[in-house]
Amino acid sequence: MARVRLFGEPKTSELSLKTPVRKEKAMNDLLHTFHDVLGQHGLVPEEILADGNLHRCPTEGKPRARNGAYIAHLDKPATLWWCNWETDDQGTFCAEEKQTLSFAEMSAWRERQHSIRRQREEECTRRHAEAAQQARQEWNAARVCDASHPYLRRKGIPALEGIRQSRDGTLLIPVLDAANNLQSLQRIYPDGTKRFLVGGKVSDGRFIIQGQPEKPIAICEGFATGASIHLASGWTVHVTFSANNMPVVAKSARDLFTDKAIIICGDNDEIGRKRGGEAARLANAQLVLPHFTSGNGTDFNDLHQIEGLEAVRSQLEAALTKQHGLVALDMSEFLSMKIPDRGYLLSPILPVQGIGILYAPRGVGKTFAALSVAVAVASGGAVFNWRAPMPKKTLYVDGEMPATSMQSRLSSLVGGMSIPPQALKNLSLITPDLQPCAMPDLSTPNGQAMIEPLLKGVDMVVLDNIATLCRTGKENESQSWQAMQAWLLDLRRRGITVLLIHHAGKSGDQRGTSAKEDIMDTVISLRRPREYAMAEGARFEVHLTKARGILGDDAKPFEANLITEGNALHWQVREIEDVELEELKRLLGEGYSIRDCAEEMGKSKSAVHRLKRKLEGLD
């Protein structure tokens, strides 16, 4: 059909000149109706070309772009199809009721629908390809996301791997297809406004937050919700961007991961419950919705912010248990199981999945000791009387040391411990001076969430020290330690060994509640030697006050002294008994009696007599 113009413009085509006035008026009326329909859906064409072909046109939101499209037919039954790519709104309008159409007109209408569908699909393919190209350009031009981005701070989540930030501060979340190809982007502005690329394909798109491969897969709607689920559980999360997209992504995930446990984490609203249930049926999965004991919310990020990560973790694990049930074995089954030995990260004091605490008074040298332990584990080396069987990835979190002091100490220790260059990559450090924000409070869910992305692939974490990294609650109150204890137990369950560094109190024991030691495998106390001068630097006694499975000579205390040789530092270790024998020999040589020696050495006379007999045997 020839082009027909709106608003009664002069007709220049031969067909228009031959059209009867009544028919021309009816066509113009239809064109006005079409124009009104397009306007109701945000499309503003300069003219309507009723030739049965697809035409792009501007929209109210972007009058200079061509983010709208329509197909118009004036022949009976007069038909209009439209699509607004900005709002993803599309539909069809027919000027006649279907029941009034003749058989020939109905056949023509069906053929018209087939033509519209074909053109629509071709247009979608073109628009999707254009948007994917634009997405790649924007993604390549973007930079690493700031941890202090306003949206992330407001949601209480870190800058997870896989997202970026544009130069204007907009978060970019990639929308990936089932083959991990970039098909579009979700833009999240600092105020929380979310927009997809115009024309980009979102259907069957997902963003994947990679978790531990042996754990379940969670499927949820939004990025912040997915981040909270991942932080609480360590699960892999497929973010679907909308409730309507959940079923198709869930079905795709089930087809790809046939034997995996899948948990559908729906939003607790009408559409979330409906689409979540549909997704659960398609994926043969368990549906879990967040429940709140206080405050109002709909998704798991709301639950994270209102009640903490522990509440998220608890509800997710309850859903997993509901799906699979708890496992109970009779004694015969349990004893016949082949359970691998835990092994050691640092033998014999730090087992795999172990939790230990090292404490000392101020100024004794506990940071030197803790750094040495971290370097030994990372390099597969040795420190004191302890040896790491093989190199393990280690994260050292320092809460107070200036970066320059940390660098100087670490450099000297590495020089004295003969660390191979390839092992340097195994130890990562978080130190306050180099952070864009304050150090996290690890006794809170938000603080734990900040460090979570850095735990990927880590075998051991050293937290130096509790006083600076755990700032919420009362130090002497066991209840205040519960949130930290739950996190430490979860890290153990995930296979991560933790060494806590802490201060000693006035009594010489670790400061604060003794409940800290309840879950510890190893408690290490560093003490000043009785005979000590400040000029000696880091010299202390090492005592194991709690040591699960450590017996015999391994459990004996010893003295460690940090020796400087040029620019390098190394530890000199002696048994406590050897130090005492040396001191007794000196005192006896100076004419001290047994009574005087006992008083000088802080020992009983019988203990001094035993040392004297041993000294005589050595002579």
Residue pair 97/49 in contact by the 8 Å Cβ criterion: no
Residues present in the chain in total: 619
Residue pair 59/67 in contact by the 8 Å Cβ criterion: yes
Backbone angles phi, psi at 508, to 5 degrees: 100, -15
pLDDT value, residue 13: 42
Higher pLDDT, 30 or 507: 30
Give CA torsion, residues 17, 20, 26, 30, to 10 deg: -20
- In this structure, whether the domain defined by 344-566 belongs to CATH 3.40.50.300 is answered with yes
CA separation for the pair 521, 434 (Å, rounded)? 32
Backbone angles phi, psi at 579, to 5 degrees: -65, -45
Highest mean pLDDT among 31-40, 121-130, 451-460: 31-40
Residue pair 298/306 in contact by the 8 Å Cβ criterion: no
End-to-end CA distance of the chain: 119
Peptide bond into 389 cis (omega under 30): no
Q: Which pair of structure tokens corresponds to residue 514?
A: 């003794």
From the list 516, 411, 528, 536, the residue with the least C-alpha distance to 465 is 516
Confidence check: pLDDT of 144 > 50: yes
Backbone angles phi, psi at 574, to 5 degrees: -135, 145
Residue pair 548/357 in contact by the 8 Å Cβ criterion: no
Give percent of the chain with pLDDT exceeding 70: 96
Give strand pairing partners of 527.
Answer: 541
pLDDT band at 387 (very low <50, low <70, confident <90, very high): very high
In the predicted model, what is the mean pLDDT of the chain?
Answer: 87
CA separation for the pair 182, 572 (Å, rounded)? 56
Each residue of 418-437: pLDDT tens digit? 788 878 889 999 999 998 88
Backbone torsion region of residue 579, taken as left when φ is above 0, otherwise alpha when ψ lies between -120 and 50, otherwise beta = alpha
pLDDT value, residue 113: 86
Each residue of 434-472: pLDDT tens digit? 988 889 899 887 788 888 888 888 999 999 989 999 988
If you search the block for the tokens 């279907």, which residue do you land on? 98
Confidence check: pLDDT of 400 > 50: yes
CA separation for the pair 402, 130 (Å, rounded)? 50
Q: Coil, strand or helix: which one is 171? A: strand
pLDDT band at 325 (very low <50, low <70, confident <90, very high): low
Each residue of 237-288: pLDDT tens digit? 999 999 999 999 999 999 999 888 999 999 999 999 999 999 999 999 999 9
pLDDT value, residue 18: 47
pLDDT band at 619 (very low <50, low <70, confident <90, very high): low
Give strand pairing partners of 262.
Answer: 217
Q: Which pair of structure tokens corresponds to residue 62?
A: 């972007």
pLDDT value, residue 337: 77
CA separation for the pair 495, 483 (Å, rounded)? 19
Q: Coil, strand or helix: which one is 591? A: coil
pLDDT band at 588 (very low <50, low <70, confident <90, very high): confident
Give strand pairing partners of 397.
Answer: 430, 463
Q: Which pair of structure tokens corresponds to residue 317?
A: 């694990």
pTM: 0.54
Handedness of CA 7, 10, 14, 18 (dihedral sign): positive
Q: Which pair of structure tokens corresponds to residue 490?
A: 């979860």
Supply angle C-alpha 337, 339, 342, rounded to 5: 165
According to CATH, the topology of domain 141-324 is Dna Topoisomerase Vi A Subunit; Chain: A, domain 2 (3.40.1360)
- Domain extents in the chain: 14-135, 141-324, 344-566, 575-619
